[in-house]
Amino acid sequence: MSWRKEQRRAERGYHHGNLKEALLQAALGLIAEKGAAGFTFADAARMAGVSAAAPYRHFRDRDELLSSIAQRGFEQFEQRLTEAWDDGRPDTVTAFERVGRAYLAFAREEPAFYNAMFESGLPVDANPALQAASERAFNVIRAAAERLAALAPPGTPRPPAMMMALHIWSMAHGVASLFSRGDAARRKLPMSPDELLEAEVLIYLRGLGFPTDRRPQAKSAEPPPVPPEASSGSGVPPGGPWGKPK
């Protein structure tokens, strides 16, 4: 029973050396397994090979550890969304959909982060740093929506970018929360979450008058202020965003 301790002592001495990081990693694993609710401070300590009191040298309490994870999650989230957006290349609509997929991919691949960020019930606005990180991530979607709104077909009223961003966020979060992720809590689906969200966003964009397939509504009289949209390559099957009607 004590060989582990001895071994670790031999490795790293009395002091752990990087306990804070080890705790964060341990917590991530535990949250991924059992959800933010099921994760216990004591477990994280045990997994890091230290006593139950040790974590208090690095985090005021359990909530602060959770907040740290959420914060880190928002930062990685922002990064992934930014990469996906790729400044709107090769064309705005394509990049926009890529952001949607990146959203789902993050929820699927980093369930622990996503859980801590959106489902742990921690008060976001109580922690200014956390709130700021959350807003930075949202701003990626917002900036993308801004660019998209500027592309609104002439003659159509220009949709407020903020609203578009909130709509897209709610769609992505709704799909991720209800259907994505491996949790037992998630519902079964007749299609993949990615397909579901992609169709949803495409229909929504079409509702705003954006050309999403073969741009049937495009009145062809607008010099695009950004790199010209490729008419193919948006990944939309020709019969509409949901494939062949039967």
Partner DNA sequence: AGCTCATGTGAACGATCTTTACATGAGCTG
Partner DNA sequence: CAGCTCATGTAAAGATCGTTCACATGAGCT
Measured over the CA atoms of residue 28, residue 33, residue 35 and residue 39, the dihedral's sign is negative
Of the candidate residues 2, 125, 128, 220, the single one contacting a second copy (CB under 8 A): 125
The verdict on 150 binding a second copy (CB under 8 A) reads no
Measured over the CA atoms of residue 85, residue 91, residue 94 and residue 96, the dihedral's sign is positive
Residue 184 interacts with which of a second copy, DNA, none, CB < 5 to 8 Å by class: a second copy
Of the candidate residues 33, 61, 86, 109, the single one contacting DNA (CB under 7 A): 61
Distance CA(35)–CA(72), nearest Å, equals 17
Of the candidate residues 7, 51, 192, 231, the single one contacting DNA (CB under 7 A): 51
Q: Which two tokens stand for residue 186?
A: 């998630």
Toward a second copy, which CB reaches closer, 28 or 202? 202
Q: How many contiguous H segments (helices) and E segments (strands) does the chain have?
A: 9, 0
Cβ 116 to DNA shortest distance, Å: 14
Residue 57 interacts with which of DNA, a second copy, none, CB < 5 to 8 Å by class: DNA
Residue with tokens 């495009």, as numbered in its chain: 218
Task: Indicate the helix (H) or strand (E) that contains 98.
Answer: helix 92-109
Distance CA(171)–CA(142), nearest Å, equals 14
Cβ neighbours for 22, distance < 8 A, ≥ 6 positions apart = 16, 48
The verdict on 174 binding a second copy (CB under 8 A) reads yes
The verdict on 121 binding DNA (CB under 7 A) reads no
The verdict on 103 binding a second copy (CB under 8 A) reads no
Site string for DNA, 8-47 (x = CB under 7 A): -----xxxxx-x--------------------xxxx----
The verdict on 63 binding DNA (CB under 7 A) reads yes
Q: Which two tokens stand for residue 38?
A: 């099921």
Of the candidate residues 17, 154, 155, 160, the single one contacting a second copy (CB under 8 A): 160
Burial class of residue 76 (count of CB atoms within 10 Å of its CB; 0-12, 13-18, 19+) = middle
The verdict on 187 binding DNA (CB under 7 A) reads no
Contact footprint for DNA (CB under 7 A): 5, 13-17, 19, 40-43, 50-54, 56-58, 60-63
